[in-house]
């Protein structure tokens, strides 16, 4: 699989440049850009995994989530620059649904096929559950409710205030988990494996691969954004569907691969941290940063989602919390999350 992605990268990046310069079909270039980004994301995932091996599950999961979300952040910034605020909000929705239902669902399902019962740190799960309810249900619903009685400027001011609050609390949550309470909440029911694991790449090579992949992703993502309008017309897709499903899956490809691989290796602490941590990072850091960044573009983007987006995100949060709060998982729970993702995907497609 790694050789397959390497071939796609070495072929896809040059073709992306040539196709852009020669104005090839938007639909063809959309496919090429998406495949290239997914392949580049796999390199980013392997590089961050190499850097994270000696860092432990929490920092490892944070690294995977951060650089996995870097792809989507880059795509979203170029989308804001192009005035596609609807696509950006939809992609944020898709990231929440994708991480909680698709990533976690695939990790639980694949891991559950190999191991009948998998455990992870229940204290981390409960801590993340509280933050998920705050970030998605509280911080995302409040702007929608209050915006009904506010004008556009007041709604934007509200969104900026909420965004700053979210970023501060996210940084406080990292400080809590990685500094003041690091190692305090260890689950005695989860056996910690003591074997040493060798990183695939040495530190220097991993950093170089990560940097080059990020630069390439930035270039390809900028061009990908310019194909959205033509692709939407060609396939009859809405901006909402492109953002919720297509952009979210492409943008989160690195986390998808990393979480599934960790679950297959029975490293559920890392797998869960990638899925939950990435969702929290999207809701509490990426989304607020995009709101603040949109102040430099026109139109600016308030933190106001549509009703279907809010209901879908809130439902996915509640379902995931119910299934994951016991610190155990199996393949059927994974199948349940995947089924919920399929149902919501069908709904957004028809919408």
Per-domain boundaries in the chain:
2-350
52: closest CA among 313, 261, 225, 351?
261
Report the pLDDT averaged over residues 69-85: 83
- The lowest-confidence range among 76-90, 138-152, 256-270 is 256-270
How far is Cα 292 from Cα 287, in angstroms, rounded to an integer?
9
Non-local CB neighbours of 89 within 8 Å, separated by 6+ positions: 243, 301, 304, 305, 306, 309
- The lowest-confidence range among 10-14, 29-33, 184-188, 336-340 is 184-188
pLDDT tens digits for 213-244?
888 888 888 788 888 888 888 888 887 888 88
Overall residue count recorded for the chain in this entry: 351
Question: How much of the chain exceeds pLDDT 70, in percent?
Answer: 90
- Whether the pLDDT of residue 63 is over 90: the answer is no
CATH 3.30.360.10 assigned to 2-350: no
**pLDDT band for position 305 (cuts 50, 70, 90):** very high
Among the ranges 119-123, 174-178, 283-287, which has the highest mean pLDDT value? 283-287
pTM for the predicted model, two decimal places: 0.82
DSSP-assigned states of every residue in 33-70: HHHHHHHHHHHHHHHHHHHHTTTHHHHHHHHHHHHHHH
pLDDT tens digits for 158-199?
999 999 999 999 989 888 887 787 766 665 555 544 445 677
Tell me what the pLDDT averaged over the chain comes to.
85
How far is Cα 37 from Cα 35, in angstroms, rounded to an integer?
6
- Whether the pLDDT of residue 326 is over 90: the answer is no
């Amino acid at each position: 699989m790694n050789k397959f992605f390497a071939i796609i990268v070495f072929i896809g990046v040059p073709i992306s440049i040539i196709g852009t310069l020669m104005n090839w079909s938007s639909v063809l270039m959309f496919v090429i850009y998406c495949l290239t980004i997914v392949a580049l994301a796999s390199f980013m995932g392997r590089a961050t995994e190499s850097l994270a091996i000696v860092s432990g599950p929490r920092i490892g999961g944070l690294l995977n989530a951060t650089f996995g979300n870097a792809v989507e952040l880059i795509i979203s910034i170029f989308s804001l620059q192009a005035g596609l605020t609807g696509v950006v909000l939809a992609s944020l929705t898709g990231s929440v649904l994708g991480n909680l239902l698709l990533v976690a669902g695939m990790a639980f399902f694949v891991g559950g096929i190999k191991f009948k019962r998998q455990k992870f740190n229940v204290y981390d799960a409960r801590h993340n559950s509280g933050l998920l309810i705050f970030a998605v249900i509280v911080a995302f619903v409040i702007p929608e409710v209050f915006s009904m009685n506010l004008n556009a400027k007041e709604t934007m001011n509200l969104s900026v205030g909420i965004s700053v609050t979210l970023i501060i609390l996210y940084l406080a949550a990292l400080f809590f988990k990685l500094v003041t309470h690091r190692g305090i909440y260890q689950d005695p029911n989860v056996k910690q494996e003591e074997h040493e694991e060798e990183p695939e790449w040495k530190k220097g090579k991993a950093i170089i691969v990560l940097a080059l992949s990020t630069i390439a992703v930035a270039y390809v993502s900028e061009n990908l954004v310019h194909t959205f309008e033509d692709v939407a017309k060609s396939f009859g897709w809405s901006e909402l569907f492109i953002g919720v499903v297509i952009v979210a899956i492409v943008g989160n490809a690195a986390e998808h691969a990393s979480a599934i691989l960790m679950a297959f290796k029975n490293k559920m602490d890392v797998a869960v941290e990638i899925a939950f941590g990435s969702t929290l990072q999207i809701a509490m850091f990426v989304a607020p940063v995009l709101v603040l960044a949109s102040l430099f573009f026109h139109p600016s983007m308030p933190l106001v989602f549509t009703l279907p987006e809010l209901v879908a995100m809130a439902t996915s949060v509640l379902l995931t919390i119910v299934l994951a709060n016991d610190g155990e998982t199996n393949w059927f729970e994974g199948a349940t999350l995947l089924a919920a993702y399929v149902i919501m995907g069908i709904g957004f497609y028809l919408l």
